[in-house]
Amino acid sequence: MEGPPRMSRLTVTQNEQAKVEDKVSDIYRVLVNVSPRAHSLILELWRDKHVEFLMRGLRMLAPSYHVLDANRPWLCYWMLHSIAQLGESFDPQLEEDVVDFLSRCQDPNGGYGGGPGQMPHLATTYAAVNSLITLGSEKALMSINREKLCLFLLRMKDSSGAFRMHDAGEMDVRASYTAISVASILNILDSEMVKNIGTFIVSCQTYEGGIAGEPNSEAHGGYTFCGLATMILIGEADRLDLPSLIDWAVFRQGVEGGLQGRTNKLVDGCYSFWQGAVLGLMQRLASIISGQLRSLYVNEKQDADNKTSVSASGPSEGELSSNGFSFLKTPSEGGPLYDSSALQQYILLCSQVLEGGFKDKPGKYRDHYHTCYCLSGLSVCQYSWSRDVNNPPLPTAVLGPYENLLEPVHPLFNVVLDRYYKAHEFYAGSPSANLTKPSMEESGVMNFDG
């Protein structure tokens, strides 16, 4: 005899998803049956409020921020980069104070710690370098000890090809990206840093198509950006299965219009950049993707581990450091690989806080991290229809009033484009070949067994 039918039970994630959809639906209903003028006002980017929120944070943070004591360069980067995207300049005294603070975070042996006296770490090194490039003054750019930083990066290099986040720390794709990004933008990237890193990242691409933090883990939006950007910077993007990566990434846009970081997870405003930039980068890899698809069509499967996009003798130092610059010269093919209007709508209506700042999703609180990456994602989204990132997009590409248009960012480094160009020119006069390079023993690259 059959018993009563079982009641279906929703998982915690499914319940949370339903709540988010209900909240977003209530917000979007406001747009229905309103006049065009009211529609434009509702979708306005509240610049002045955001700048006020960010400037206040740069000058003084509440005592509750003490939990981020090891992330102080990150706080600088999130706020400075957000302000720069909004087109605001920095007060000379404030700039002086930031350079002085970050100089005290710089370790005598290279790299930057989370605060003065803290051990150097690749993540906070990336944040500090991007902060100083965002400031853009000669004093800021000259404050970086590139020679010692080169030594630090080589000490973090493991014999497997991957990088460690800090001395005896974890190895993951995030570490590889922060190391290569810093080395590339400072023009100190060399063949020793690049050696075998591509093989490590290829091993992190999952069956879904996205990239995990380490081999045999789950594909994740943040790691996917880090892995793809690293492979572009070292000139080995063709070693990844790019069609599979696109297939995974395009399905990360939820019904709310926002982007999620992993399969079956909730949308989050910060993935507007992490996932949005991945799909933006893909628009400039069209020729490689087409070649991979043709190979699949004619059943000419190639082993990614045996492929290489560099010569047998390896690329020159100049070629490596110029990859980030030359990538921008590649035109963006076609339109965005996601619904750009829907994403802009989610950022402006569901993540924007009218008092200033941005948040993860409705029901959450604003913070500087989400403010930075919501704005970065919005910028990438606005320029996604432009073949050339240096040219402003058409009004139809910008949701809401055209005054919403942000400064363009370099999609590989996530710094405002004109600051990147200034740093590129500044460090081009000091090529990596002019730096005193360490021996293998001095750099700590070699591992000794007992």
Known catalytic residues are 220, 262, 265, 268, 270-271, 360, 367, 370
Terminal-residue alpha carbon distance, the chain: 69
Single out the residue of 258, 294, 243 nearest to residue 377, CA to CA: 258
**400 touches 40 (CB < 8 A):** yes
Please classify residue 425 by burial: count the beta carbons closer than 10 Å to its beta carbon, then call 0-12 exposed, 13-18 middle and 19+ buried.
exposed
Half-sphere exposure of 293 (CA within 13 A, CB side): 12
Q: What is the spatial distance between Cα 332 and Cα 69, in angstroms, rounded to a whole number?
A: 40
Place of tokens 């990538």: 327
Place of tokens 């853009």: 136
- Alpha carbon distances (Å) from 213 to 161, 205, 210, 378: 14, 9, 10, 25
User: Cα angle at 99 between 93 and 101, to 5 degrees?
Assistant: 100
For 379, phi then psi, to 5°, come to: -65, -50
User: Cα angle at 229 between 310 and 416, to 5 degrees?
Assistant: 125
Q: What is the spatial distance between Cα 309 and Cα 355, in angstroms, rounded to a whole number?
A: 49
Q: What is the CA radius of gyration of the chain?
A: 22
Spell out the alpha helix ranges (H) of 208-256. Answer: 221-233, 242-250
CA–centroid distance for 249 within its chain: 15
Please classify residue 217 by burial: count the beta carbons closer than 10 Å to its beta carbon, then call 0-12 exposed, 13-18 middle and 19+ buried.
middle
